Amino acid sequence: MDLNVAGIVDADVHDTERAECTVFIIEPDRSVQGSLEQLVTASGWQSEAFASAEEFLGRPSHAAPCCAVVDVTLPGLSGLELQRRLAMRPSVPIVFVTGHEDAAMIVQAMKAGAVEFLIKPFTNERLMSALREAIERSRIAVRVDSERRALTDCYESLTPRERDVMTLVVAGLLNKQVGSELGISEITVKTHRGRVMRKMKADSLPDLVRMTVRLGLHPELRRPA
C-alpha cells in the first residue's frame, strides 16, 4: 500500500472547513493505522484511530462532517457488520480497505452504500479521492440533519391549536373552513395562522407545505368548497 505522505498536502490544508472534518481510521494493524493517520493529518483533516469496530462504536456520536476508513477484516465485529450498525448514520460514510479481493463482499459493501472499496496495495490518490467524496457526502448529511432538527424545533414550538390550524391550512382549506372544522372564528384562525407562519419561519403557504412534507406530515389534500 503506497502511503508516502510527501507531496500529498493540498493547497488548502489550513482551510477551516477541512480542519473541522474528521477521518476515523478503524484498522487493527498499528503500522497501517499510523501511516493512514499521518496521511490524513497531512491532508488537513483531523484523524482518530481505533483497532476494532467495538472500540469505535464506544465513541460518542460526531456532529461535524466525518467519514471512516474501515478494514473489512476487523477482529470481533467485521467491517461489514460495522457498516450495518452505522446504516442509520449517513453522516459517517465508509471507505473500505482490504488485502483480500472478494467479489461478493465488494458487491455487498457497495450496495449498502460504501463510498469505495480499495484493495491493498492502493495509491494515495485513490484513497484521497475516496475520502474527499466521503467527506462531501457527510457534509451534506450533516447539513440536512441540522436543518431537519431546526425545523422540528420550530414545529414543536407550536401549540396544539396552532398545529391543528397548520394541518388544515396546508391541506388546502380556507380560513373560514378551518374555523368551521375547529369551532373557532375566522379571525382567530387568521391569528393562529400568522403565529404558525412566524414560528415556522415560513415566507409563504408553499413554503409551509414544503416544511410539512420535510417533517413527514402528509395531510390529505382537500379542495375548498
Tell me the CATH number at 117. Answer: 3.40.50.2300
* Residues 53, 113, 84: CA angle, nearest 5 degrees: 35
Q: Could you read off the pLDDT of 50-99 as tens digits, one per residue? A: 999 999 999 988 889 999 999 999 999 999 999 999 998 889 999 999 98
pTM, 2 dp: 0.75
What cell does 100 get?
483480500
Could you give the CA distance from residue 33 to residue 2 in angstroms, rounded to a whole number? 13
Q: Does 128 lie in the same domain as 22?
A: yes
Distances (CA, A) of 38 to 8, 34, 122, 131, 136: 11, 6, 16, 14, 21
In a domain, residue 33? The reply is yes
Q: What are phi and psi of 70, to 5 degrees?
A: -125, 125
Domain boundary among 99, 125, 145: 145
Reference 62, options 21, 15, 18, 17; nearest CA is: 21
Q: Could you read off the pLDDT of 112-127 as tens digits, one per residue? A: 999 999 998 889 999 9
What cell does 52 get?
476494532
In a domain, residue 93? The reply is yes
Domain boundary among 100, 119, 145: 145
